[in-house]
């Protein structure tokens, strides 16, 4: 049976949530990703004053930007200092992940009331199976978009096609606030001009190798011979590229996901010394463990394996994992296991990034280890009987939020 799969992508989601809070910034270039001390101030007359990107100093990265800022060349994951050179007069706002998660829940609940077969792909995007719903695709898309706007005040873009691959591509055709529909007999013509790098799964390295073969678009890819593709990428990936070029994708919309892991990580504004900055690192490390524990509790999960991730000032990345005797969602137990992992790493360089991960997840019905025990101090500098505190990051010390993916 022919399928109708939609991909819904919220428009500049984090930035759009901020514009709900600060409507006077609509139409202006706004960059989200500043530290909390970059929040707007209010003068004696009640007027808000916003920081400008040109005033930023540090290593932070852009979390997201409005379309006006993107027109100036500022995009997510770009270094703040580079963004400041491109758009010095852009407004700078700190990220508020709690607000973004709240709006995410609202828009997904609104969509589920209309089309319950949903695959959650992150805080700002979902796949929706419309196959069994009555009505034409355009009317359904308009109904869903209005429901999202009513629930959140925000706009979204929707692509509707026969499969997930095509729908994700189509949702980008008419951003922001667009609807793009591709019927089965239109697929080859509509996707032919799309650059191969736009396809989820074809990264920068694969794109460069395809361009080396003279393949820049999906039309080029469809006309390419199989032999050079197999020689360059191997049989499996070449076969997948063959399907991509023809718009073939049989993946179902998965309405229930079993997460493999959950993690939190922080990139520091300045490289921190393992000994001289021990107190700051210890506070950040404990906070990350607490946030991982809170994520597990919220998702009603427990973890059997705890891991850490370090990135040093020479960009070398090191990970370590520890398997527990029993699953846990207890912050003290997670902190202790993460500390044990840390003891197995030679800390010979300053730290650029610190992360904590929980994996081997199971439902909370499993037997939990909530014994906690003595909390290990960071970096193996002794132990403390104190329970993990609610201490946050000190102003300007780090950028913290959910890890990618």
Residues 6+ apart with CB under 8 A from 329: 293, 296, 297, 301, 302, 303, 364, 368, 370
Specify whether 125 is catalytic. yes
Q: What is the pLDDT of residue 207?
A: 92
pLDDT at site 400: 35
| Residue pair 145/156 in contact by the 8 Å Cβ criterion | yes
Report the pLDDT value the prediction gives residue 403, as an integer from 0 to 100. Answer: 36
Below-50 pLDDT ranges, the chain: 366-405
Instruction: Please give the model's pTM, rounded to 2 decimal places.
Output: 0.68
Q: What is the pLDDT of residue 328?
A: 93
Give residue 394's pLDDT. Answer: 28
Tokens 């990107």, located at residue: 53
Catalytic residue, chosen from 125, 280, 290, 383, is 125
DSSP β-ladder status, 375-376 and 383-384: antiparallel
Q: Spell out the domains of the chain, with CATH numbers in brackets.
A: 5-12+99-188 (3.30.70.270), 13-95 (3.40.1170.60), 195-245 (1.10.150.20), 261-402 (3.30.1490.100)
Beta strands in 285-349 (DSSP E): 301-312, 317-328
pLDDT of residue 395: 27
pLDDT tens digit string along 270-286? 888 998 988 889 988 99
């Amino acid at each position: 049976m022919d399928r109708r799969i939609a991909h819904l992508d919220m428009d500049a989601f984090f930035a759009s949530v901020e514009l709900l809070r600060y409507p006077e910034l609509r139409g202006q270039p706004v960059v989200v990703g500043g530290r909390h001390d970059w929040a707007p101030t209010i003068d004696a007359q009640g007027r808000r004053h916003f920081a400008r990107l040109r005033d930023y100093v540090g290593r932070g990265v852009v979390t997201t930007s409005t379309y006006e800022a993107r027109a100036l060349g500022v995009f997510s994951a770009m270094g703040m200092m580079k963004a400041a050179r491109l758009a010095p007069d852009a407004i700078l706002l700190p990220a508020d992940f709690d607000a973004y998660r709240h709006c995410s829940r609202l828009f997904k609940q609104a969509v589920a009331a209309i089309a319950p077969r949903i695959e959650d792909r992150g805080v700002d995007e979902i796949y929706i199976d419309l196959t069994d719903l009555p009505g034409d695709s355009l009317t359904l898309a308009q109904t869903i978009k209005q429901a999202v706007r009513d629930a959140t005040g925000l706009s979204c873009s929707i692509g509707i096609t026969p499969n997930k691959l095509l729908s994700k591509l189509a949702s980008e055709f008419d951003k922001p606030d667009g609807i793009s529909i591709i019927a089965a007999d239109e697929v080859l013509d509509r996707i032919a001009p799309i650059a191969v790098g736009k396809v989820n799964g074809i990264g920068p390295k694969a794109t460069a190798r395809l361009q080396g073969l003279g393949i820049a678009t999906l039309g080029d890819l469809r006309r390419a011979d199989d032999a050079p593709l197999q020689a360059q990428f191997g049989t499996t990936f070449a076969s997948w590229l063959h399907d991509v070029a023809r718009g073939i994708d049989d993946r179902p919309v998965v309405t229930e996901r079993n997460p493999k892991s959950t993690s939190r990580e922080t990139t520091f504004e300045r490289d921190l010394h393992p000994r001289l900055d021990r107190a700051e690192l210890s506070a950040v490390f404990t906070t990350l463990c607490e946030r991982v524990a809170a994520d597990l509790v919220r998702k009603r999960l427990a973890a059997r394996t705890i891991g850490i991730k370090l990135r040093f000032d020479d960009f070398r990345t090191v990970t370590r994992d520890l398997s527990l005797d029993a699953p846990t969602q207890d912050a003290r137990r997670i902190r202790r296991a993460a500390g044990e992992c840390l003891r197995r790493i030679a800390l010979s360089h300053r730290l650029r990034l610190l992360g904590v991960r929980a994996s081997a997840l199971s439902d909370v019905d499993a037997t939990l280890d909530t014994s906690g025990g003595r909390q290990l101090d960071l970096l193996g500098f002794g132990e403390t009987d104190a329970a993990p505190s609610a201490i946050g990051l000190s102003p300007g010390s780090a950028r913290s939020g959910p890890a990618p993916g």
